[in-house]
Amino acid sequence: MAMPHPSLRVKTVLAALGLLLPLLITCVAGVFLSNSPSAGWLFPALGLLGAGLALCIIALNNWLVLRPLRLLTRHVEQLANRQGAERRITLGGAGEIGHLATAFNTMVTEVEQRNSDLQASEQRYRIVSEFSSDFIYWRRPDGSFEFTSPTCREVTGYDVEDFYQRPQLMEEIVHPDDRHLLDAFEQQAQDGVCPGGELEYRIITQTGAIRWVRRVCRPIHDDNGRYLGRRGSLSDVSANKQLADQVSHLVLHDLLTGLPNRSLFTDRLTLTTAHAVREQGLLAVLFFGLDRFKLINDTMGHEIGDRLLVMTAERLHKLLHSEDTLCRFGGDVFAFLLVGRESKHEAVTMAYRVLASLNDPFALGGQQQALLTGSIGIALCPNDGKNAETLLKNAETAMYEAKRGGKNSFRFYTREMNAQAAEMLTLDTSMPASLANGDFYLHFQPQLAIRDNRLVGMEALLRWRHPELGFIAPDRFIPLAEENGFIIRLGEWVLRSACFQNDAWIRAGLPPLRIAVNISGRQFIEPDFVDQVAAALADSGLPAELLELELTESMLVSDEQQSLQRLRLLKKMGIQLAIDDFGTGYSSLSYLKHFPLDRLKVDKSFVNDILTDPDDAAITEAIIAMAHSLKLQVIAEGVETMEQLAFLEDRGCDEIQGYHLSKPLSEHDLVSFVTARQRAAL
């Protein structure tokens, strides 16, 4: 057991003396009085003396007892002004006073440590809040702010004091169109405790700018579970939102034209179709494809092609109603979604407007222009389909039917078109096998020099006898081959076959006749086209002057420099060059003057009506005169009557071909035809 502190013994003795001393003096006084009756005054005097001494002793004892407490009180009063070791007290000794001093010093140490930890925590929190770009806050249960970080100004434009003075400012800055989001969030609160979570909405800053923020909110509870308010942050996510919007736009829009892409168009069509079927309404889907656009890309380059697509999109977009949708469906194909229409006639009106929008030439810079046409397919809901997939398929089918029907027109979908589309698919996929199996073959149409009634050549014409579908007309499969690119292989086969066949006839004893081969635009721009021609002549042994290549006007004018270079190479080899279907295209004198050509072929569309249509007669006569002035020969196609021949002969036309002379002939029949003409001449 611990010994009492010495000062405590002293205090105990003094306290005992203070109690016993009056008693002791009284006893002594009683003894004196009993021995000396005359000293009666001594008893009161001694009593007073004892009481006084007792009071002094008691006062001294109290002073000794309270002195450590006074020292401690004075130390505590000055504690705020002390630092370090000065904050600790030394009362001396052991015992209760020593324990008290030790306990006090321990308490001071713990408080200092906690203050140090708290200051360190506050410093870390201050660093986080100051260097964070988020607006961090702590709100009490009544909505007032316990804390707001200085970054509130960067996010909202308002100062810390603004939120302290007007806590409702946090809700007032929310964009009016997004306040319902915050209201719905707050309605989830239970017993006034915020629900916590994340929310994105727009705010209006002090300067009036609109920003997107992400709000994070968490409830605060003490160790006993008492709700202390909420802490959270506002993060400026405007840049992320803008980036997300840009990504979303890129995903759903065409990169070249900026129009909605196929995915977005299909989504809108799905929604509007379901509504139209439910409400028994009418909507129209228009597929619009540019005619011969692949030739433009191949001859003028993809950069020019892209510019034309952008300019086309701009013209088409001006035709839309507010609820309509225009998309670039892919390549040179655009699609319209027309909603809220009352009859099919409104779709017809739109089709005419679309076709008319291309009437004006497209300026490509300098003197270069391009004139485009297009073909349109129309499918109506619900008659032609009650879902997006069916409507798209049927509108596309109708568009290709319009292309096959002559282009620059529109067609409504009919059920018969599906059978035709299936047939075209069969033709498309079976071309390679048919070429390998010999299903393609050549016919030859003779050409006659009018002046001396002499055979001078023949045109090689491609034919196809499909193993399942039978004879396929050239106007059905050649455009398809140009679209799918197979015309390159097919054209090379025609070139080589014609050269080998003509050489074989010469070796068999027929008179040398030139053979004309049609060249497609896709074939002409192939980098090795000139080499293909040279190889066909070398491998077959046919003299170059007996080969004539028929080219179209559009091939030459699309890239005049490249065309001129290739034509010069071909001409240097001795090959003859002709312009096919002259008068139906550009009919420009510039390339006739500069290109090394041998003859022009007057299109049969003029020859057909030269006897009945004064315009066709005048055009044909002008072509012949112009060609002769440029030292070019003229051959007329499609001559079917003696009267047409007489007209052409009278105007000085050099050569003809057509049914009046002969229909296209097989290899065997041509030999018989040439032989018969030779015998008749003898």
465: part of which helix (H) or strand (E)?
Answer: strand 454-466
Q: Which of 513, 496, 428 is nearest to 464 (CA)?
A: 428
388-404 vs 474-484: helix crossing angle, rounded to 10: 120
Mean confidence (pLDDT) of the chain: 84
Owner of token pair 């109506």: 380
Q: What is the pLDDT of residues 149-170, one digit of tens each?
A: 888 888 999 998 999 999 999 9
Rounded to an integer, what distance in angstroms lies between the CA atom of residue 257 and that of residue 314? Answer: 8
The CATH code of domain 129-242 reads 3.30.450.20
Burial of 127 (0-12, 13-18, 19+ CB in 10 A): exposed
Q: Is pLDDT of 383 > 60?
A: yes
Q: What is the mean pLDDT of residues 40-50?
A: 62
Q: Fill in the amino acid letter for 665.
A: L
Query: pLDDT exceeding 70 applies to what percent of the chain?
Result: 81
| Start-to-end CA span in the chain (Å) | 159
Q: Which of 560, 486, 573, 477 is nearest to 523 (CA)?
A: 486
Cα–Cα distance, 382 to 276 (Å, whole number): 8
pLDDT(5) > 50? no
pLDDT at residue 67 above 70? no
The alpha carbon dihedral of 415, 417, 423, 429 has a sign of negative
Q: What is the pLDDT of residue 271?
A: 93
In one letter, which amino acid is 246?
Q
pLDDT band at 119 (very low <50, low <70, confident <90, very high): low
Torsion angles phi and psi, residue 641, rounded to 5: -130, 160
pLDDT tens-digit map of 549-583: 999 877 776 677 888 899 999 999 999 999 987 76
Give the per-residue pLDDT at 251.
79
Least confident of 298-302, 470-474, 527-531, 535-539: 298-302
- C-alpha distances (whole Å) from 375 to each of 299, 312, 329 are 21, 14, 14
pLDDT exceeds 70 at position 404? yes
CA–CA distance, 294 with 292 (Å, rounded to integer): 5
Cα separation of 92 and 96, whole Å?
Answer: 11
pLDDT of 6 over the 50 cut: no
Q: Is 105 exposed, middle or buried (0-12, 13-18, 19+ CB in 10 A)?
A: middle
Please tell me the distance from the alpha carbon of residue 84 to that of residue 650, in angstroms, as a whole number.
128
338, 283 contact by CB (below 8 A): yes
Output the 3-class SS for 81-132.
HCCHHHHCCCCCCCHHHHHHHHHHHHHHHHHHHHHHHHHHHHHHHHHHHHHC
The DSSP code sequence of 552-607 is -HHHHHHTHHHHHHHHHHHHHTT-EEEEEEETSS---HHHHHHS---EEEE-HHHH
Higher-pLDDT residue of 43, 72: 72
| 514 token code pair | 């030139």
pLDDT of residue 35: 58
CATH architecture observed for domain 426-681: Alpha-Beta Barrel (3.20)
Give the model confidence (pLDDT) of 191-230 as tens digits. 666 677 788 899 999 999 999 999 888 888 888 888 888 8
Whether the predicted pLDDT of 39 surpasses 70: no
Contact in structure between 374 and 408 (CB atoms under 8 Å): yes
Q: What's the average model confidence in pLDDT over 596-618?
A: 91
Please name which of 255, 171, 285, 252 lies closest in space to residue 217, comparing C-alpha atoms: 171
> For the chain, how are helix, strand and coil distributed in percent, rounded to 5?
55, 20, 25
pLDDT of residue 7: 53
CATH of 254-414, picked from 3.40.50.300, 3.40.225.10, 3.30.70.270, 1.10.10.10, is 3.30.70.270
pLDDT greater at residue 537 or residue 679 = 537
Adjacent-strand bridge partners of 285: 337, 379
Q: Is the pLDDT of residue 42 over 80?
A: no
- What is the average per-residue pLDDT within 372-396? 93
* pLDDT category of residue 658 using cuts at 50, 70 and 90: very high
d(CA 372, CA 330): 17
pLDDT value, residue 15: 56
For the stretch 235-291, pLDDT in tens is 888 888 877 777 777 778 898 999 999 999 999 999 999 988 888 888 999 999 999
Within a 10 A sphere around the Cβ of 607, how many other Cβ atoms? 25
User: Six-digit token pair at 6?
Assistant: 């010495």
**Rg of the chain (C-alpha set):** 54
Residues with Cβ within 8 Å of 482's Cβ and at least 6 positions away in sequence, in order, are: 294, 295, 520, 521, 522
Q: Indicate the Cα dihedral angle 212, 213, 214, 217, nearest 10°.
A: -150
Question: Rounded mean pLDDT of 52-73?
Answer: 67
Percent of the chain scored above 90 by pLDDT? 48
Q: Where are the domains of the chain?
A: 6-72, 129-242, 254-414, 426-681
User: Is the entire prediction scored with pTM above 0.85?
Assistant: no
Is the CB of residue 199 less than 8 Å from the CB of residue 188? no
Collapsing DSSP to helix, strand or coil, 136 comes out as strand
Q: Do residues 411 and 404 touch, judged by C-beta distance below 8 A? A: no
In this predicted structure, the answer to whether residue 339 has a pLDDT above a threshold of 70 is: yes
